[in-house]
Amino acid sequence: MTALTLDLVKSFLGYEKDQIDHDDTLTLALEAGVDWVERYTGHILRPRTFHQPLRRSAGHAALDNWPVTGEPTLSCSDGDVEQIIPLRLYSVCRPATVRAGAGWPSFDSNNPATIVYTAGYTTPDEVPAGLLHGVLLYAGMFEQLRSNDASASLKPVEAVCWSYRLLTV
């Protein structure tokens, strides 16, 4: 799979690689496309750390982002003492879930707990082609809007990315 680069966006939109007069705008379109695809699908295209509040003290917790890499931890404080608790990760299918080994610690709403984990594709080769195409289509829509094309729409981007969404009831 090809990496998400400015040159790829230029190629997709028909610009010459050495044409630099639109680089800032196209870089913005690329970053906006990555952001939109990640928010729409929950698939993280570039790895980074997330801090997800533990919504309730249950036997397990579902993680919002995919794919999860590394070992998640639970960070919680009891007044002045902060605890870092390792969690068991279950990531065979989406959504990845975590469980505490000996049970969840007790905490109250004044001292919320946070799950800390890393998510994202570690190499460009791992990014599914549909997500890459979604970013490029978003950049194309961005370019259409820039040129006052009233037919610009997110529908093609949504169509390509739809199968990567996690639908919950």
Query: Mind listing the pLDDT tens digit for each residue in 106-129?
Result: 666 666 788 999 999 998 889 999
Q: How far apart are CA 69 and CA 48, in angstroms?
A: 10
Alpha-helical segments (H) within 14-153: 23-41, 129-146
The domain ranges of the chain are 6-43+124-164, 48-119
Say whether 124 sits in a helix, a strand or coil: helix
First to last CA, the chain: 33
Assign 150 a pLDDT band (cuts: 50, 70, 90). Answer: confident
CB-count burial class (<10 Å; 0-12, 13-18, 19+) for 126: exposed
Span 33-45, average pLDDT = 96
Can you tell me the distance from the alpha carbon of 47 to that of 158, in angstroms, rounded to the nearest whole number? 22
All residues at 6 or more sequence positions from 96 whose CB lies less than 8 Å from its CB, including other chains: 62, 63, 66, 67, 68, 89, 90
The pTM is what? Answer: 0.84
Q: Which of 7, 6, 29, 8 is nearest to 129 (CA)?
A: 8
Tokens for 111? 């001292």
- Model confidence at 82, pLDDT cuts 50, 70, 90, reads confident
- CATH class of the domain whose range is 6-43+124-164: mainly alpha
